[in-house]
Amino acid sequence: MSSTTPSQTTAADTLTVRVNGREVVVPRTMPEAVSGKAVPTTMIQACEAAGVTVPHYCYHPKLPVAGNCRMCLVEFGTPALGPDRQPLLNPDGSPVIRQSPRPAIACATPVSPGMEIYTDTDGVHAMRRAVMEFLLINHPLDCPICDQAGECKLQEYALDHGQAASGFDEVKVHKPKTVDLGPRILLDAERCILCSRCIRFTRDIARDDALGIINRGSYNTIAAYPGRQFDNNYTLNTADLCPVGALTSKDFRFRMRVWFLKESKSLCAGCGTGCNLLVGSRENRIHRFTPRQNDAVNSCWMCDEGRLNYRWVGRGDRLKSPLNRRSGATEWGTVLDETADLLRNASRGSVAVIGSARATCEELFLLKKLCQHLGARSDCVPREGEADGLLVSDDRNPNSHGARLTGVCFTEIGINLPYLANDIEAGKIRTLLVLGEDLTKPELELPTDLLGRLENLIVGDILPNPTVDQAHIVLPGCAHLEKRGTFINVNGRVQRFFKAVEPPGQAMPETGWLGGLLERLTGEAPARSAEALFNQLAEATPALKGLTWAALGDQGVTVEV
């Protein structure tokens, strides 16, 4: 516990250390993972800044430090001080470095000016080898039947830092397997390396102190507190955090080997937060969502509800074919021709459009163009819930700002719906185009049989529902996982997403058929690609001025909304 030595080299808010001989300047303090409070920069952060990865299990940049796995032990030295508390110098003027006789864990040890960190010495390698041996002696070593294989830190580090043979020749400790921790998480306690990431996550991030360790020593076992279920809306993050195969998702386990999964960058469309995610798919089938880090949005997490919201994408009853119930046409060309005729012949003021704040900015941009061309009034459908103070927003539409900025709806989504309903009842509106919403849902409190009063009901959607059933014309679209586009989240973060899987049958991205209709009505073909459409939208929208699809990057850009 020496007093801090004064910085010899740099400004007050940075300091210089050496990592394996390479000089690196780091901030003196960094924000603490959970509280955001400034705390001294640690060795592992300095190594990261120097481009040196220190192997670790329990450390996670978004969790409080635990320091228990001991995998990140490093050797280090600090400048030696003379009796006058001034640094001692070598003949060449460089500071004399006093090697610490004891190693330190890089995850928890603060750096100090002039410190030298060594991650590549024989001593460090020996310590890692020892930790690997200790971790593996009671581990089942049955990777071929473990669901974590392929994304297991124990496997990876065993290869990088372990040894082929072990002197362990005793009976292993046996612990409970297939323990039901809660509705979505299973525990295999024998695979667990007790890094406590899951405990820290649920206590400090999900704010549900549901997990703990029972027993003692080598018999330590993760458990939910007696009489409690591990059932908050964030439990599946622990399966991501678990560096080994101890915690697995009941939804995903044993469904697909992870190395077969294609990973596509996408977003969750479950609410206005827009958590970034990776879609894991194989042969056109989605197998899981995992959160994709975006510190401006969701850090490394997502809620269980959003994560499991993918099964419907592959449902057998998806709308696969366009249909004009009156003509019987089921070809895109014919159906769009007939739809365009119908709109062209409608008298001005008799057409209205109800869009969706689950549609992409690009779709809403084209929808607005269509409204303008037809002189149609429009709105979208609000979707509200309770915010949880973590990631789930009270706005359950993923793109409410997109709906507002494109002008498809006004400040308050849904404010126009009663007026539009009145005009339908009064017979003023006789043709209605609905994009991706079921207007018969009771919470919308629209008059029953409202749709029956329409002369023409044109519906673009992806799954059957009562509105689709009543439609004269059905235009099958795509889940956002089957197309590209942008959403703007509740905080004005403009984020793009990419296609993970192909749509079923003839279903096509909504920008495709909206563009087809506009071309038929105006004689001018709008851009087809999401890139071009977004760039045009940005050009035309003050709030998005200067933005381009390319500039959004994978993390998005926040705009004033």
Partner 1 sequence: MAEEHRLITKQFREAGYTPDLDCYLRHGGYDTLRRALRVTPEQLRNEVGVSGLRGRGGAGFSCGLKWSLVDRRSGKPIYLVCNADESEPGTFKDRQIIHLDPHQLIEGMILACYANDVHLAFIYIRGEFAEGARILNLALTEARAKGFLGKGILGGTYDLDIHVHRGAGAYICGEETGLLESLEGKRPYPRVKPPYYPAVLGLYQCPTIVNNVETLCAVKHVLAMGGTEYAKLGRPNNTGTRLVCLSGHVQQPGYFEIEVGAVTFRDLIFDPAFGGGLREDRTLKAIIPGGASAKVFRADEKVTLGGPGLEGAGPKRKVDVLDLPYDFTTLTAAGSMSGSGGIIVLDDSTDIVAALANLSEFFAHESCGQCTPCREGSLWMAKILRRLGSGQGRAGDADQLLHIADNIPGGRTICAFGEACSWPVQSFVGKFKAEFETKEAGV
**Among the listed residues 86, 99, 218, 522, the single contact to partner 1 using CB under 8 A:** 218
First-to-final CA distance of the chain: 50
| Minimum distance, C-beta of residue 203 to partner 1, in the bound complex (Å) | 11
Among candidate residues 250, 253, 307, the one with its CA nearest the CA of residue 277: 307
DSSP state of 122: H
| Minimum distance, C-beta of residue 176 to partner 1, in the bound complex (Å) | 16
333-362 residues near partner 1, rule: CB under 8 A? none
Binding track, positions 175-214, relative to partner 1; x by CB under 8 A:
------------------xx-----------------xx-
CA–CA gap between residue 44 and residue 55 (Å, rounded)? 9
Count of chain residues binding partner 1 (CB under 8 A): 43
Nearer CB in complex with partner 1: 194/278: 194
Q: Are strands 179-180 and 557-558 parallel, antiparallel or unpaired?
A: unpaired
| Minimum distance, C-beta of residue 55 to partner 1, in the bound complex (Å) | 13
b vs e for 508-533, b when ≥16 Cβ sit within 10 Å of the residue's Cβ? bbbbbbbbbbbebbeeeebbeebbeb
96-125 residues near partner 1, rule: CB under 8 A? 101-105, 108-110
**Among the listed residues 66, 269, 478, 481, the single contact to partner 1 using CB under 8 A:** 66
| Minimum distance, C-beta of residue 138 to partner 1, in the bound complex (Å) | 6
73 binds partner 1, rule: CB under 8 A: yes
| Minimum distance, C-beta of residue 414 to partner 1, in the bound complex (Å) | 49
Output the six-digit token pair for 286.
């989605």
| Minimum distance, C-beta of residue 71 to partner 1, in the bound complex (Å) | 8
| Minimum distance, C-beta of residue 104 to partner 1, in the bound complex (Å) | 7
239 binds partner 1, rule: CB under 8 A: no
169 binds partner 1, rule: CB under 8 A: yes
What one-character-per-residue DSSP string does 172-217 give? Answer: PP----SEE-SSSEEE-TTT-----HHHHIIIIIS----EEEES-G
Give Cβ neighbours of residue 142 (< 8 Å, ≥ 6 apart).
none
Binding track, positions 26-55, relative to partner 1; x by CB under 8 A:
-------------xx---------------
CB 323 within 8 A of CB 474: yes
CA–CA gap between residue 418 and residue 437 (Å, rounded)? 16
215 binds partner 1, rule: CB under 8 A: yes
Alpha helices in 234-360 (DSSP H): 236-241, 304-307, 332-345
Residue 159, H or E segment = helix 153-161
| Minimum distance, C-beta of residue 393 to partner 1, in the bound complex (Å) | 33
Nearer CB in complex with partner 1: 128/483: 128
Nearer CB in complex with partner 1: 65/205: 65
Nearer CB in complex with partner 1: 65/313: 65
DSSP state of 390: S
What one-character-per-residue DSSP string does 501-526 give? Answer: SPPSTT---HHHHHHHHHHHHHS-PP
Give Cβ neighbours of residue 316 (< 8 Å, ≥ 6 apart).
none
Angle between helices 122-137 and 153-161 (to 10 degrees): 140
**Among the listed residues 13, 84, 122, 170, the single contact to partner 1 using CB under 8 A:** 170
91 binds partner 1, rule: CB under 8 A: no
125-144 residues near partner 1, rule: CB under 8 A? 127, 130-131, 133-135, 137-138
Nearer CB in complex with partner 1: 58/500: 58
Residue 474, H or E segment = strand 473-476
Nearer CB in complex with partner 1: 193/429: 193
Binding site for partner 1 (CB under 8 A): 1, 39-40, 65-71, 73, 101-105, 108-110, 127, 130-131, 133-135, 137-138, 167-171, 173, 193-194, 212-213, 215-220
